[in-house]
Structure 1
Amino acid sequence: MIEKIISKYKKQSFLIAYSGGLDSTVLLYQLIEISKKFYINIRAIHINHNLTSLSRKWTEHCKKICDINHIPLIIENIEIDNKKNNLEEKLRIKRYNIIYNHLFSNEILLTGHHMNDQCETLILSLKRGSGPTGLSSMSFETLLGNKKIIRPFLKKTKKELLFWAKKKQLCWIEDFSNLNIDYDRNFIRKKIIPLLEKRWPYFLNNCFRTTKICQKETRLLNYFLHEKIHDYIQYDNSLNIENFKNTTKEICTALIRHWISLKKIKMPSYKNIQCIYQQMIFSKTDASPKIILGKHEIRRYRKSLYFIKTQSNLRNTLLFWHNTKINLTLPNDLGNLIEDTNGITIPAPENNELINIRFQYEGYVLILGRNKKRKIKKIWQEKKIPPWLRNQIPLLFYNNSFISALGVFVINTNNRTKKTWTISWQNNLRFSYQNSFEFY
């Protein structure tokens, strides 16, 4: 059934996602038969979702089948509250994370997804109002991180797999939770597709053809966007939107979407992309709009969009550095402060002064080299430091006296002794050649 596909990957290693159900059982036995003709390494992984009292028996079944066929089996368990919303999606994410961690660098993951699964995914995408990318559904070959997934049964129907399994007298697990139509996918599988197939016998094949067309259209669009996006992406990976107001909405949203796709996160919905376009392009010039995308956010600064990791606000954080011979670790993975000879030279503290680090200051400051005080907000703007980084920069104080924004400026302290010391900030922030901060 899939011999020609697998034969292309001679001398390869394969990890089978083995649930014990019909699809993965057929996949396992297909690989066993193929291994008699071609030299391939086979392993299997079984994820116990612990959603039913039968889960342990299913795990034992998978172990027994793999033992009989001398297939190394990895068994992992997932513990998750089955009352949570979006349970299917949460389980899928956890499952793939576990599998990814077990995949060898030279190993290909094989799954038992077939044409019926593809049709279900297409209908779910239609329900969500997805565009061509979402309607592309599953690809025959994709990447999981930097590792490969192949779905060799995508051109085969469930009926074909069932016919082969019965012919070979295979034994597999029937998961009765698949009958629960409270889950969207099960509802589509049990209620919608049988009805559509009865009316239109070639419906599955036509769904498959639609996904192939959408995949080709998406690849073509991405090719042209990839060529065009380089005109807008800047040295710090921000997106230049200076001329977006004079560009059609369709082109702007396509460029924003492609820019986000390069970040390797789950693609935002159509609605979110429209929201990013409206808020980022058309809000007031002095505004600082923010769109949250999971653990990341998109921010606008001046005439560019930035994709950054969300950081905890440190404005009320106070750290004491009692022993400067020991490195001071900063929160939010901002690195360490070290007393050495390579850092910034600043006035030294008096013996009785407490060295402390803060991340917030309001008011006017007189920085070294100036003869007039300015609001610290103006200093941040002058140094081209975007708002979301201003409370991530360690501010050095002696008691309550502001001494330096480390790596940015030093306060003019003429009333202090001439004694100095040097501090290095080993950090994830650095100045660019345009004198502005980059954050990694």
Structure 2
Amino acid sequence: MPTPLLEALEEHSAALRSATRVYVGFSGGIDSHCLLHALTTFSQNEPLPPVTAIHVNHGLHADADAWEMQCRKIAGELGVDIVIERVGVKSKPSLEAQARAARYQIFQKYLTENALLLLAHHLDDHVETVLFRLIRGAGSTGLSGIPKTRQVGAGSLLRPFLGVHRSEIEAYASELGLQSIHDSSNDDLALDRNFLRHQVLPMIEARWPGYRSGISRTAQIMGSIDDASTDAWYQCPFGCPSLDIDFREAETLHAAVHAKLKVMGLDLPAFDALRELSRQCLTAGRDKTPTLYTDAYALSCWRGRLQILPATIAPCEPEEVVVGRVISRAWGSLSWVAANTGLPEGSRVSLRPIDEGERVRFPGRPSRPIRHGMQEMGIAPYWRASVPTICVNAEVVAVAGLGCTEQGAHIFNENSEGLVPIWTPPKIRIGN
């Protein structure tokens, strides 16, 4: 049965298959050991490129050479090539940062174009990083945590286990009897990161068992703030902030919407609700309208365009008007323009909202539902109740924006010159 580790690799199977070569940063510890083992298991059913483990010996621990030999042994047992690189790191402050920089210099040396480096950071590492940076006063970039992917040299880095719990990795190692290297320095509580891991987080978990998902969600939001651009938004003819849906991934769309709402000063919807809307926007048919409502506004998508709308859109209210007189209401304004086939100026007509199911016939055209005309005009379903229908004795004689109907032309002495109604939506103000 697939384990969470193999499922995580399956999620990135396309990236693995397309790489020219796959490298694994291999310390010999339980995390990288399980990653290397799971990758070789995964490769039995997937046509992967050659896999090579990279072990960097920093020479900082008394057992560093023994660990190097152990890594050779593990790689040999798994049938994986391994390269060993030895680097010198001075014993000064920021020793950990120096060691990390030395490792990445080695990684860059091997990562040619389209090569892929896998590192075994997992969900607990991600959460610890966010909390540690929060304590130190990081901004949105720091609080986005550990990136899942990024460029390294001419190749790419991927952390496939970033959504996997440490306990799931430990269970994998225990079930398979994997003997991994244990670095005793990871138990030293004098080091801040170890104190956070061994003392603070167990107390948090005892009180809030689901804390990992919450902190991980915050990290994703922080990353969205940094990565998303609001440049692609524009005002549609109705005055709504609009965004064309040309994204390939729901996460990218989610980030773009999140960033725009923040710039507008609007309260953000629930994370999961906005993520689900983003998914629906990318998968729904063009004439579907996935919508997310909040108390202050709504997000709705139609025909590949996502819009930020008022929470409520006023429908046209029934009333009597005089043809030629401009009126302004909560649902918008009604004005008039001259046309070859129109209504006599000064005549009295009544307004009501559109009944999308009713059919009308315009001169020279077959009978069809009003909603088809709305679609041709590019009026989304959520605006249509605001568009006034013009009636005389309950007969539809004109539709704002569509013109005079055949029935209207007949009532007013056929094809006579006159006025036709034009609807303009109300001015919209949402947020700042």
Q: Give me the TM-score of the superposition, normalised by structure 2.
A: 0.50
Larger Rg: 2
Q: Give me the TM-score of the superposition, normalised by structure 1.
A: 0.49
